[in-house]
Structure 1
Amino acid sequence: MTDAAQGLVSIGIAGTLEPAAIAAVARAVEECGFHALWVNDTPGGDALAALAAAARVTDRLVLGTGVLPVDRHPADAILARVRALALPEDRLVLGLGAGQLRDGVLERVGETVRALRAGTSARVMIGALGPRMRRLAASVSDGPLFSWLPPAAAAAQAAEAHRAAPGAHVALYVRTSLDAAGAARRDAEAAAYGGYAPYAANFARLGITPGATVLPLPGDRDLAPGLAAYRASVDELVLRAIPGRDEPEAYVAFVRALAERA
């Protein structure tokens, strides 16, 4: 799972899980040899607090936010919380996104990245959909964090980022299920994202549907073909865990089952 020739493999989870659940998942992720634990920052969740819980029970696991929307999280507030939570900056990745901003988006995201890089040694990445945000990510941050892409598009956009900035680290979120119950939840999430204007525009630009960007890939019986294609396309593949039940035990079981397949 850490074979650089094939791309790193990490796990992503929702920030709405309780701290004790986050800690249990983080222990399993580290024990199973995954590269990183990424936590979504969602309404009702707190990605930085979740990472603090994960940090307390791990010693080498990389910890990332996927992503902190800058309309809700200004740079000074992020820096204050990183210090207050004593987050380990040497293994912290602050993933940022535009959130609900509609005006001055590139400027605001760029300013936030620069402020964070001046105030912390943590890596900073940008959640990027469109070409302008992808260029910004390659030019001012440690690299782009992609989502909702099929393998071929992911490979093309990763190559674009590496041409712009050879040292850029390209990561990709892929919603992943292992059973029928998880697949139903995964597909419901994909359908929801397909209705959000920025994502809908990106799907239309690429000529794809949300269902073409999940694991297992459409038509595949298991993870293996899609997993190999995705690992070859980017520097880090973040498997966003979608188990059948939104419970700590289900996430831990998911991580352990995934480790056997990845």
Structure 2
Amino acid sequence: MSGPSVGAAVSIGIAAASLELDDVAVLAHRVEQAGFTALWVNDTPDADALAVLASAAAATARLKLAVGAIPVDRRPAPAILADIAQLDLPTDRLTIGIGAGRMRRGALQAVSTAAAQLRAALPSRVVVGALGPRMRRLGAMDADGVLLSWLTPEIAAAQARSAHDQRAGAHAALYVRAAVDDDARGRLVDEAAKYSRVPAYAANFGALGITAQDTVIRPERAADRLAAYRATVDELVLRAVPADDGLDAHLAFVNEVRDLV
């Protein structure tokens, strides 16, 4: 990246189903070459994020590999551990994000138990995808940190400070949906609208007094927005919203962001 490193580490995020595995390997190699900290992969019901990370691992030597966030109601800790072993993922480079998924009753206990099991078995960092204050506290106290998302810079800074106050050394990572190409603007609007319809996110937006559109990085003034977010957390994950789902568009996103950071 150009210039000195200031503020949060910067990582790239993609959806698990967005690219073929061979293309993920090419992208991961480029992300490593460009000097980013990690490649994060969203875990989704229609694609295995850990398998995607295995392709990235095979094409890289230093790049951190992260998944955010595996719902423990769908994939409990023993299953996660078995898959990591079967895929031979490099656990020294791995960050495992977990969350409650669709669980309502017993969610805090289930996530706490999963975090303890993963941390006992692996040297990997374990972070908790968290919206509310109790889950964020759990991430800071019972895991290695929190994975935040869909926040303005001001709210992200406050939530990161809270995590650090609860436990020195707690890692605060923030997912921010970003489009840096004018042709991707419509897809960014659609992405925000989709999350606005998810009940848990809609309730959180209402409680915070913000909208999903308030929390994204648009092509205009992208550099200023990046700088604002980098001042808030320990790791800024730019969830790529490229012009299309092809490899070339993802590579273009990485190159454009590299020039902005």
Residue identity opposite 1:196 in structure 2: V
Match of 1:37 in 2: 39
CA distance in 2, matches of 1:180, 1:100: 35
Q: Residues 3 and 143 from structure 1, CA distance in 2 versus in 1: closer, same or farther, beyond 3 angstroms?
A: farther
Match of 1:227 in 2: 226
Deviation string 1:181-225 (CA, Å, 9 cap, x unpaired) is 312111111111111111011101110010000003xxx822111
Q: How does 1:123-134 map to 2 (within 5 A)?
A: 123-134=125-136
1:241 to 2:240 alignment: yes
Aligned residues: 259
Q: Residues 4 and 90 from structure 1, CA distance in 2 versus in 1: closer, same or farther, beyond 3 angstroms?
A: farther
Q: TM-score, normalised by structure 1?
A: 0.96
CA distance in 2, matches of 1:18, 1:85: 17
2:156 pairs with one of 141, 154, 157 = 154
Deviation string 1:52-71 (CA, Å, 9 cap, x unpaired) is 00000100000000111111
Match of 1:13 in 2: 14
CA contact (8 A) 1:97 1:128 kept: yes
Deviation string 1:21-50 (CA, Å, 9 cap, x unpaired) is 111110110000000000001121111000
Percent identity, please: 53
- TM-fit CA distance, 1:232: 0.3
Deviation string 1:60-93 (CA, Å, 9 cap, x unpaired) is 0000001111111111110011111110011100
- TM-fit CA distance, 1:179: 2.0
Match of 1:199 in 2: 201
CA contact (8 A) 1:41 1:65 kept: yes
CA distance in 1, matches of 2:220, 2:180: 10
Q: TM-score, normalised by structure 2?
A: 0.96
CA distance in 2, matches of 1:124, 1:73: 15
1:166 pairs with one of 155, 168, 172 = 168
CA contact (8 A) 1:126 1:137 kept: yes
Residue identity opposite 1:244 in structure 2: A
Match of 2:24 in 1: 22
Q: Residues 3 and 231 from structure 1, CA distance in 2 versus in 1: closer, same or farther, beyond 3 angstroms?
A: farther
Residue identity opposite 1:258 in structure 2: V
Structure 1 segments of 4+ aligned residues over 3 angstroms from their partners: 1-5
Q: CA RMSD in A?
A: 1.3
Match of 2:137 in 1: 135
Q: How does 1:169-184 map to 2 (within 5 A)?
A: 169-184=171-186
Deviation string 1:137-190 (CA, Å, 9 cap, x unpaired) is 000111000000000000000000000011011000000001233121111111
- TM-fit CA distance, 1:120: 1.1
CA contact (8 A) 1:70 1:98 kept: yes
CA distance in 2, matches of 1:66, 1:166: 22
Deviates more, 1:181-190 or 1:143-152: 181-190
CA contact (8 A) 1:150 1:213 kept: yes
CA distance in 2, matches of 1:182, 1:43: 24
CA contact (8 A) 1:4 1:235 kept: no
